[in-house]
Structure formats: structure tokens, C-alpha cells
Amino acid sequence: MKVEADSHNITDHPHDDKPRPYLCTVCDKRFMTNGHLKQHKQTHTGDKFYCTQCEKCFATQRSLKEHMNVHSSKYKCTECGKCSNSKHNLTVHRRIHSGEKPFECTVCSKRFTTSGTLTNHSRVHSGEKPYKCHKCDKAFMKAGDLPAHMRVHTGDKPYKCSLCDRSVSTFRYLQTHKRQVHSSERPYDCRYCGKRFKSSPELKRHVYTHTGAKPLSCRHCSDCFTHYDQLKTHLLKSHSEGTWFTCHICEKKFSHRGNFKAHLLRHEGVKPYICYECSKCFCTSREMKQHQLKHSDFKQFCCGSCGKYFKREDTVVGHFNICSVKLRYVNVFSRQA
């Protein structure tokens, strides 16, 4: 790897006018100091620094050293006990409790806790996407989105689940995987019925059933839909737009690649989803999640008539119907009395 430091050939950074004479010959990114360039080089060599106390890994030794402050509780919030990796991040975190938002957008007057968040927000108005992938034409507004995207091309999945063989490209995906597959935690609850979900998109789709909203409209006709899957199926059936996935064994057709792959696994007898409690195997994650309710005492579905909780949605629907009939009988008898 060659390092260029030609002071007569300085390319300005897209966000400021500071000279950055140190060039990475792999991705053409420039830096102000040779030390920053050396740290950046480790992202291309694949060297990883792993935390001995958790599963996170870092591209540089400096990032790992800052992360270790979280485990040592050096910078700890006195309000909630959360630990930060630096004094600056602790100061920013405390603004959550104080409500302080010192940075204001000049276009819409929306306020933010950090200057970086304001910078990212300002690109919503300007449409600027300065972080571009050098292997495809995709561009991003946030710097943190580009490294995760690059793993699509390299196939690198450095974050491995400790409970199964699944590997993912980002630490956030790893946290989501553990919550959705290996735990019964459901932090997102519906404000209309109290039903709980493991992810925000699941909650958002569920809320549409209460509000009746159908934000997705077909560009060929006046039909509207709640979910993108419904719109995609409609386009395939009514307007012949899209691609059907056809099974080469039984010729059954599917509108979604995920359902098609799960169907092929049934023909092959492959069951990649394993219950961590009893080691029973399943073809789809949905089947495994339904099975894992047997091992858990967590009851997420509440009857709207009597308030009783159940593990499964179909169980609470049946109970609610019986409950409603009983309630009608009680009302009839009370009127007669």
C-alpha cells in the first residue's frame, strides 16, 4: 500500500476547505494527518481488534481503547447509569435528560443535540449524498452507512452470533437478530391495543390495522395497500409487473423471494432454524418463533374483554369471541333483572 503526501496535489474534503494531503491509494480517500491515514488503512487490510468483554470488534486500536471506557464505567451518567466511551459522548448523552438541543436547522427550525446530527439532517433539504461507493453508483447521506454498504461487495460479516452460526455485517443487525430470534423481548408496544412487537417496522405495520391507513397506491389503478408485500402481489396478479419465482419441482409460484426459498427448503428437507431450548429444527424463522413460545412464560396478547393474557394470537382471538358472548349474556340478564 502506497502513501502519497504531495503538497502540490491537495484535494479538498467535500464538507470543508481544510487541505487533506494524505491519500489512500485503495479508495482515494484523503486525510489531514498521516496518523489518520494509518488508522484508515486498517479498514482495508481486514485487521480487527476485538473487545474481550463483549462481541464488538473495531477497525483500529484507538477505537477499541475508547470502547473499553464503557466497561470501566469511567464516563458514567448519574441520571440513568449509562456508560459512554468519552467525556464528549457523555456530555451529549446528558442532553437526553436535560432536553437541551443547541443546534438548530436554518431551513425548518428543527433542533438537534449534536452538530453531526444537524449536518446529516441538512442533507434532507439539500439532497446531498457525499459518501459514494467506488464499486457501484450508490451514495449515502451519512458516513456510517458507507462502511456497512461496502460489506455487500466484500461479503465481510464480522459479527457472529454466540447462540447460533449466524454472521451479520453490522453490530446493530447482530443486536436485532438476537432480540428477534433468541429472546422473547418485545420492546415496541401498540398504543391502541397493547400488543407488543420485536421491531419498529412490525409495530408500524400493525398500527395500520387500527388506523385503516393505506399509504401505498398502485400507479396503474386506484387500489391502495397497507404493506409493500400486498402492493407487489397486486402488481404481479393484476398488471403482470414483476417476477414470479417458480419452483422447478412442483411448479408452484411465489411473488416473494423469501417465501420461494423457504419452499425449496421443504423439498430439500433442510431446516436451518434451530430452537436454542430443545434443538428442534424448522424451515422458517416464523415457525421457530411460534414454537419458542412453548418454552417461554411471556404472554403478549391481551383479551380486550377480560384483560387476560395469552402466548399466541389465535388463542386470544378464540378466547375473545367466547368472552364477548358471555358478556352479551350478562348484559341481557342484568337488563331482565
Cell of 165: 452460526
* Fold observed for domain 244-298: Double Stranded RNA Binding Domain (3.30.160)
Among 285, 86, 296, 103, CA closest to 183? 296
Tell me what pLDDT residue 320 has.
62
Domain ranges of the chain: 244-298, 299-337
- Rounded to the nearest angstrom, the gap between the alpha carbon of residue 50 and the centroid of all alpha carbons in its chain is 22
Residue entry with cell 395500520: 208
Residue entry with cell 484507538: 62
Any idea how long the chain is?
337
**H/E element holding 236?**
helix 228-239
Residue type, 17: D
- Cβ(269)–Cβ(280) below 8 Å: no
Give the CA distances from residue 144 to residues 23, 85, 130, 157, 170, in Å, rounded to whole numbers and listed in that order: 20, 18, 12, 16, 11
Give the CA distances from residue 7 to residues 10, 20, 238, 307, in Å, rounded to whole numbers and listed in that order: 6, 9, 62, 73
Tell me what pLDDT residue 115 has.
87
Tell me what pLDDT residue 329 has.
52
> pLDDT tens, 300-326?
566 656 667 666 666 766 666 676 555
Tell me what pLDDT residue 198 has.
78
- Counting as low any pLDDT under 70, the low residues of the chain are 1-18, 42-43, 45-47, 55, 241-243, 296-307, 309-314, 316-321, 323-337
| DSSP conformational letter for 144 | T
Tell me what pLDDT residue 295 has.
74
Tell me what pLDDT residue 13 has.
43
Tell me what pLDDT residue 313 has.
64
